[in-house]
């Protein structure tokens, strides 16, 4: 079950001190989680980054441009800091979306069915 973020405070650089509804708290370095491209490009501007807020409806952090980050990913990064982003992604997303081999097998089967 997802844990909502109830407080977020910028610390330094691109680090945030996060507090979750279960009172788990700590510092997450967003440079380890996001690339500053697309919707996150605006966050390169450190003054804009500092405008982070908690959206209580989403239960996560967000910015006025619509950027937000999955609270499950942030919770996992906070509680399991030694795990890589790939480890967390593979654990949080359904395996069929992550495995290239499965995607290839599905594509090959689809092609075979069409022939």
pLDDT tens for the 115 residues of the chain, in order: 689 999 999 998 999 999 999 999 999 999 988 899 999 999 999 999 999 999 999 999 999 999 999 999 999 889 887 766 566 556 555 544 444 555 556 555 656 565 5
CATH class of 1-81: alpha beta
Domain coordinates in residue numbering, the chain: 1-81, 83-115
Which among 45, 32, 106 has a CA at the least distance from the CA of 73? Answer: 32
Which among 61, 64, 66 has a CA at the least distance from the CA of 33? Answer: 61
What single-letter DSSP state applies at residue 37?
S
Angle at Cα 27 formed by Cα 6 and Cα 43, nearest 5°? 80
Measured CA to CA, the distance from residue 35 to residue 25 in angstroms comes to: 23
Quick check: 28 and 78 in contact, CB under 8 A?
Answer: yes
């Amino acid at each position: 079950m997802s844990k909502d973020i109830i407080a977020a405070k910028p610390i330094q650089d691109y680090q945030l001190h996060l507090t979750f509804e279960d009172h788990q708290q700590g510092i997450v370095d967003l440079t380890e989680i996001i690339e500053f491209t697309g919707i996150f490009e605006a966050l390169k501007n450190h003054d804009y980054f500092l405008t982070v807020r908690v959206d209580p409806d989403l239960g996560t952090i967000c910015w006025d441009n619509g950027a937000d980050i999955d609270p499950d990913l942030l919770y996992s990064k906070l509680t399991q800091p030694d795990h890589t982003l790939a480890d967390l992604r593979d654990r949080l997303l359904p395996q069929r979306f992550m495995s290239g081999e499965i995607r290839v097998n599905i594509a090959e089967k689809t092609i075979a069915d069409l022939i």
